[in-house]
Amino acid sequence: MSLAGRELILGVTGSIAAYKAVYLLRELTQLGAGVTVCLTEHAGEFVGPLTFRTLSGRPVLTDLFDPQSADAVEHVALAERAHAVLVAPATANLLAKAAHGIADDFLTTLLLAARSPVLMVPAMDGGMWEHPAVVANVATLRARGVTVLEPDAGALASGLSGKGRFPEPDAIVEALRRLLAPVRDFAGERLLITAGPTREPIDPVRYISNRSSGKMGYGLAAAALRRGAQVTLIAGPTQITPPPGAVFVPVQTAEEMREAVLQHLSSATVVIKAAAVADYRAKHPSAAKIKGKRDLTLELTPNPDILAEVAGRRTGAFVVGFAAETHDVAANARAKLEAKGIDLLVANDVSQRGIGFDADENEVLLLDRWGGTRALPRMPKSAVADAILSHTLAVRAAAATRKAVR
């Protein structure tokens, strides 16, 4: 695919790999793209603006607050015009700022203004790429729909070797092509997605809840939006910003989640319940704070089973549930699928480290009501989300064909 007619913004940050952005720029312009380069202050110390200006044939954006620059006030328009924004190389510092919405220079301001797809190409020392802060920032960006490429492994500028190398330009161009020609297979679909935990009050300061971070459900919402769906995201309390474009309904308790789900159910073509709904709530929550220093017996009562109720209403929506299991995953999940009367069940083994609750990755088993089973390997939750969505369409289409044949 030629990139003729495509308007791109190439953000370059302060990494030794900044010189490789020069080759990337040359490749992009040779493929016909119009590229506006935006250098951070530190990138300019590795490679000067003149090189990028010569190759792009355009002024290079360097400083948001440069009074000489007519473009300085145009960052919003520029971000809106672009078909995609690439940040290559993206340092750990840039990933952190983007994840937290910090806008203290031209590039980070432009990233906040961008409504087009964003591709980040990290390059850094191996130890840095694996640092929990960087891992968390990358997960936040991916959950928000940003494509973050995996760096290559090999010799690093620090003299060490590991994962952190700037990928080859071909791999970046390929990722860009995928981003610019996104699959729109969910166009016309209306997805109702639940995410996160619920909180069931015990008294005004305490509650029953669980470890769900919302990453899985938010990842599904971001992927569905990218693939053209209208998305209503109903979520319990999480730390994640809802993906732009979703109708967002925040809730606290299972009862509130049930009401919100039933209110939005009639228009949904697909329902996906990734939320970890608390199975029990306090039967008599106290209006006043319960005092300590004595034994306390808490009477619990079961919450409504929202998923089973949704399936029982038979609105015509394709219903996907999740199952958090700790043993005999396949057998328990199959029993749950049948008990709840749903179409597809996504089972994860939440006793495994690194997947399930509050993890950035997941490894799931997909079981459908027609007897099909598919195991997916461990992947980032954004990739699991895409695989679940693709499987949903495939299973639904196969079920429709079966019905038609009968």
Contact positions vs ligand PMT (CB under 6 A): 196, 212-216, 254, 273-277, 279, 303, 305-307, 321-324, 348, 350, 356-358
Whichever of 82 and 139 has its CB closer to ligand PMT, that residue is: 139
Whichever of 151 and 356 has its CB closer to ligand PMT, that residue is: 356
Active site residue 210: yes
Which residues is 380 bridged to in the sheet? 361
Selecting among 93, 137, 210, 303, the annotated active-site residue is 210
Nearest distance, CB of residue 260 and ligand PMT, angstroms: 12
Nearest distance, CB of residue 381 and ligand PMT, angstroms: 6
Nearest distance, CB of residue 166 and ligand PMT, angstroms: 30
Whichever of 6 and 273 has its CB closer to ligand PMT, that residue is: 273
Nearest distance, CB of residue 296 and ligand PMT, angstroms: 24
Whichever of 79 and 277 has its CB closer to ligand PMT, that residue is: 277
Nearest distance, CB of residue 313 and ligand PMT, angstroms: 13
Whichever of 172 and 261 has its CB closer to ligand PMT, that residue is: 261
Side-chain-side CA neighbours of residue 259 (13 Å): 8
Cβ pair 80, 113 in contact under 8 A:
yes
What positions carry a catalytic annotation? 210
